[in-house]
């Protein structure tokens, strides 16, 4: 987080670009992020599986869980929490906010 506790939100997409149940790969300031639309709410997670380095944006969004295409590990996109083995370590998440139709992600 930047000095003074300020967040560093960056506009990354428009809400209309990501329908419910879909996800979008983003490269924001050298951070690979997956932006997910779960029933109209937006969540952002790191684009790498903690188990074997799989690219999560190539997997599936199943409700509020993202599934790694390599070995089927699943993570809750709202918290990064592991929901299915073989992963045991949570994945990083990013704060998201929506302003009008703009989606902003905190990349700090």
Cα–Cα distance list, 9 to 2, 84, 95 (Å):
11, 30, 8
**Chain segment 20-43, per-residue pLDDT in tens:** 999 999 999 999 999 999 999 999
Which residues sit opposite 27 in a β-bridge?
A: 32
Cα–Cα distance list, 40 to 10, 29, 51, 67 (Å):
20, 25, 28, 19
pTM for the model: 0.91
What's the CATH fold of domain 3-106? Rieske Iron-sulfur Protein (2.102.10)
Q: What share of the chain is helix, strand, coil (3-state, %, to 5)?
A: 10, 45, 45
Give residue limits of the domains in the chain: 3-106
**Chain segment 63-86, per-residue pLDDT in tens:** 999 999 999 999 999 999 999 999
Cβ pair 56, 49 in contact under 8 A: yes
């Amino acid at each position: 987080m930047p000095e003074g506790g300020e967040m560093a939100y960056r506009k990354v997409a428009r809400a209309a670009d990501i329908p419910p149940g879909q996800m979008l790969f983003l490269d924001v300031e050298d951070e690979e992020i997956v932006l997910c639309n779960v029933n109209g709410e937006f969540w952002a997670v790191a684009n790498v599986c903690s188990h074997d380095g799989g690219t999560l944006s190539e997997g599936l969004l199943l409700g509020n869980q993202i599934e790694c295409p390599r070995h089927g590990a699943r993570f809750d996109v709202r918290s990064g929490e592991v929901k299915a083995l073989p992963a045991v370590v949570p994945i990083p998440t990013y704060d998201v906010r929506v302003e009008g139709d703009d989606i902003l992600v905190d990349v700090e």
